[in-house]
């Protein structure tokens, strides 16, 4: 299963300020809490413009599926996705409200 402990998904979000890749905003928060790491501002999903496909390692404009023809383009980054706030989730039987 691709993703992180918080969300099952096949993409990472590129932080709009630093360019670092995070699987989700909660992972970004955990990274910020680490005392020896450089600190990013909180990850604002609404400001994300690029995602990184975890299947083929392609950085691309935020979308619901990979644009790389060599990747499994028919597979989405998550069964649930919101193009407004860049929320992706592929967790079975999870109800998302936002």
Kindly report, residue by residue over 41-76, the tens digit of the pLDDT. Answer: 889 999 999 999 999 999 999 999 999 998 876 678
| Residue 75: both structure tokens together | 């597979």
Q: What is the pTM of this model?
A: 0.86
Portion of the chain with pLDDT greater than 90, in percent: 53
pLDDT at residue 46 in the model = 94
C-alpha dist (Å) from residue 71 to 55, 60, 66, 78: 7, 13, 7, 15
pLDDT at residue 72 in the model = 78
Tell me how far the alpha carbon of residue 30 is from its chain's centroid: 15
- CB atoms inside a 10 Å sphere around CB 98: 8
For 6-30, what is each residue's pLDDT tens digit?
Answer: 999 999 999 999 999 999 998 888 8
The answer to whether the CB of 32 falls within 8 A of the CB of 42 is yes
Angle at 47 between CA 84 and CA 76, to 5 degrees: 50
């Amino acid at each position: 299963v691709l993703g992180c402990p918080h969300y099952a998904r096949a993409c990472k979000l590129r932080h709009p300020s630093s360019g670092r890749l995070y699987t989700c905003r909660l992972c970004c928060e955990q990274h910020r809490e680490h005392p020896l790491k450089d600190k990013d501002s909180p990850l604002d999903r609404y400001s994300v413009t690029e995602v990184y496909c975890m299947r083929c390692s392609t950085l691309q404009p935020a979308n619901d599926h990979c644009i790389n023809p060599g990747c499994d383009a028919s597979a989405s980054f998550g069964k649930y996705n919101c193009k407004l706030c860049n929320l992706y989730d592929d967790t079975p039987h999870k109800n998302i409200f936002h």
